[in-house]
Amino acid sequence: MQLPFAESYKIKMVETIKKSTREEREQWIKEAKYNLFNLKSEQVFVDLLTDSGTGAMSDKQWSELMLGDESYAGASSYYKMKTAIKDILGFDYFLPTHQGRAAENVLFSVLVKEGMVVPGNSHFDTTKGHIEFRKASAIDCTIDEAFDTTAHHDFKGNVDLNKLEKVLMSYPLEKIPMIIMTVTNNSAGGQPVSMQNLRDVYTMSRKYGVRVVFDSARFAENAYFIKQREAAYADKSIKEIVKEMFSYADAMTMSSKKDAIVNMGGFIGFKDEDLFKQASVFGIIFEGYITYGGMSGRDMNALAQGLYEGTEFDTLDSRIKQVAFLGQRLKDFGVPSQEPFGGHAIFVDVKRFLPHVPKEEFPAQTLAIELYLEAGVRAVEIGAILADRDPVTRENRYPELELLRLAIPRRTYTNNHMEYVAAALGNVYARRNDIKRGVKIIKEAPIMRHFTVELERL
């Protein structure tokens, strides 16, 4: 008999989570103004808001905390992180930052100026925020297949080379500070980018003389998919694949809260010493001295250890199979999702789930509220509320995909939790025709409104 799949770790410490009644949840979500970010974590049973900073560190990472060197300058923890970054990613220069968006802030302070354009594959919201905040624009060049959740494509995170070349030919090159490749492509559903595509983008970038920056939060998951789906890489190790991926980047930003499996931390990697030096100035102003940049020594140690663990095949295999397990269970209940399933999350296609709720009433947010009421499961809207208003016209932007993201923290929940979540959403799906109306916005912030928006049910 073929042995079933089992996780490559066992549990050493546990944290209690609490169930609640539907009446309690009705009250709590109302007090939260129907914004799930406003819930207290103790009001949530299974928390799939994000996979960012919510993973379980290993015994080795916890041990590393004790070895942290908290010297202001030149700490051994800084050098441990430097060695890991060189070893695994191949970058000679780096700056620590407190998280991924801080890395964007520091790097973009050097590179992005008013009126510039930054092409790429579906920029993440903070990335786009940092570009638009500087009065520049992000141009999404992702392949069309990414926006059809029923279309099969092994690498829905890919850039469409024709779209990219059109951008490179349409603007003066000094207006294009970089191409950003997000691996995996979070906004398209945790979808990977193929090695072929990374190589092609890099080749095109050399032709036009534009640098390539990887937004690398889930680079190891991307490497896992390359190994599984790109024939030439089947026999390569994750670490070999990662090395080749980053050979096609000039710089990288990293939110270490994902694939480096720490609760907080980030960095920028540079191949070019000159860019590193320019960015160091902003790093010092915004984050801290160049050998700690917003991180404690102990956290740099845990991060370095996390980079090694996060690029082990078995760690990734356990993780991605758990995400696919949830995806398959949901599929068994008829729930429509982005397929193939992504690396860090299942993205439910809400246009197909609640086709009768008009887009002006924010169907994905409506579904997030219903799922919470059903079972105390917190997911997150990746739809029109997140897409925000157009910075110029101030009209609501309605993205092609209206999604509910169920993000799975690393090494945190068991497959029983996944069964629970699937049954809960299956129940909502069974009564989907009774959900006739959505929500309306009562209050919103001028930028990144989804975090603080206040809503009312219609």
Which residues participate in catalysis according to the annotation?
A: 72, 124-125, 215, 217, 258, 450
Complex with ligand F0G: residue 43 or 126, whichever CB lies closer: 126
Element (H, E) at 303: helix 297-310
- The DSSP 8-state label assigned to residue 179 in this structure reads E
Distance of CA 101 to the CA centre of its chain: 11
CB of 85 to ligand F0G, least distance (A): 16
To ligand F0G, the closest distance from the beta carbon of 187 in angstroms equals 8
Closest separation in Å from C-beta 128 to ligand F0G:
10
CB of 365 to ligand F0G, least distance (A): 16
| Dihedral pair phi/psi, residue 407, rounded to 5° | -90, 135
The label of the residue with tokens 């069309």 reads 144
Q: Which two tokens stand for residue 424?
A: 């809960």
Distance linking the first and last C-alpha atoms of the chain:
53
Dist CA 411 CA 13 (whole Å): 12
Nearer to ligand F0G, 126 or 158 (CB): 126
Q: Please, which residues have CB within 8 angstroms of residue 201's CB and are 6 or more apart in sequence?
A: 159, 161, 164, 179, 181, 212, 248
Q: Least distance to ligand F0G from the beta carbon of 100, Å?
A: 2
Q: Which residue is nearest to ligand F0G (CB)?
A: 100
Q: Which residues contribute to the site for ligand F0G (CB under 6 A)? A: 50, 52, 99-101, 124, 126-127, 182, 186, 215, 217, 255, 257, 266
Q: Is the peptide bond before 184 cis (omega within 30 degrees of 0)?
A: yes
Residues 6+ apart with CB under 8 A from 269: 85, 89, 91, 93, 94, 216, 246, 249, 251, 252, 254
Query: For residues 164 and 254, which CB has a smaller minimum distance to ligand F0G in the complex?
Result: 254
Q: Reply yes or no: is the peptide bond before residue 340 cis, omega within 30 of 0.
A: yes
User: CA neighbours within 13 Å on the CB side: how many for 82?
Assistant: 15
Phi-psi bin for 46: left (phi > 0), alpha (psi -120 to 50), beta?
Answer: beta
Residue number, 120 or 363, with CB nearest to ligand F0G:
120
- Closest CB to ligand F0G among residues 183, 350: 183
- The whole-angstrom separation of Cα 214 and Cα 269 is 9
| Least separation in angstroms between CB 399 and ligand F0G | 15
- Taking the least distance from each CB to ligand F0G, the nearer of 50 and 311 is 50
Rounded to whole angstroms, how far apart are CA atoms 97 and 114?
24
